[in-house]
Amino acid sequence: MGQKTHPVGFRIPYVRTWNSRWYADKQYGQWMHEDLRVRRRCFDKMGQAGISSVQIERTANKVKVYIYTARPGIAIGRKGENIEELKRELTKVTSLDVVPYIQEVRKAELDAQLVSESIAQQLERRVSFRRATKRAVQQAMKLGAKGIRVRCSGRLGGAEMSRVLGYREGRVPLHTLRAGADHLRRDRRQGVDLQGRHSEEVASGRSGAARTGSRAADASPPLTLPEGSGYGRTRCFRRRERSSASR
């Protein structure tokens, strides 16, 4: 009946490990929310560094944060100023001392997080979705991937009706636990130029589609039609006129 499971969680602990490694009884809820805040702060502060994953280890009085990034130079910063600023930010959201470690991702084209982030950023810049997905598939297969599957959904290309587009190459055995499959989903929003859309609607005679504020101030003047043109009359009105004329 369509019972679906996450490909990464399905492979724990066979070929994958947990992103948070610690044990707690009464402090489980507090530490879990701290981990969520730590990951959110890392992605917000170092979004330009291409972060792949954030793994957390806890000891008695210390929190070790391993940040896997494709651009370690941007993450560390000049003379380590970015990593020091991140350390101060993470100390505020946790109850223990935080020690961040930067780990480099050698092949960013083989990481699901980085590939999906790259495609999402290209879609935000209005790059063709076919070009973005095909390029990601070709680069992954070129660097040694055994298989890749990419799927984009939504109002692709600005179409009014949403659709789903997918590209697949190689083998992606989701039921084989020994296969090191990686999976990630990324959502992005494309903005709409409301001002340009409003001027378009008014120019075509359909005003009021993007009004803001009071109606009296923003209401456009009504359209004036020439007399005897017949525009704006419905079929029932014409039938009444004809019946009255025949009488």
Of 5-9, 17-21, 40-44, 115-119, the one with minimum mean pLDDT is 5-9
Burial class from Cβ neighbours inside 10 Å (0-12, 13-18, 19+) for residue 177 reads: middle
The two beta strands, 20-21 and 51-58, are parallel
Split into its structural domains, the chain has a count of 2
Full residue range of the structural domain in which residue 205 is found: 107-213
195 lies in some domain: yes
232 lies in some domain: no
Residues 88 and 46 in one domain: yes
Lookup: tokens for 32: 């879990």
* Domain CATH code at residue 201: 3.30.1140.32
pLDDT band at 212 (very low <50, low <70, confident <90, very high): very low
* Contact predicate 53/19, CB 8 Å: yes
Look at residue 199 in the predicted model and tell me its pLDDT: 34
87 lies in some domain: yes
Percentage of residues of the chain with pLDDT beyond 70:
75
Region 201-227 average pLDDT:
44
Lookup: tokens for 209: 């589609």
Residues 100 and 17 in one domain: yes
Cα 2 to Cα 9, 134, 154, 218: the distances in Å are 17, 28, 22, 51
Residues 57 and 136 in one domain: no
Cα 146 to Cα 13, 88, 150, 180: the distances in Å are 22, 41, 14, 10
* Domain CATH code at residue 91: 3.30.300.20
pLDDT at residue 192 above 60? Answer: no
pLDDT at residue 197 above 50? Answer: no
Residues 76 and 142 in one domain: no
pLDDT tens digits for range 37-68: 999 999 988 888 889 999 999 988 899 999 99
* Contact predicate 67/78, CB 8 Å: no
Residues 15 and 102 in one domain: yes
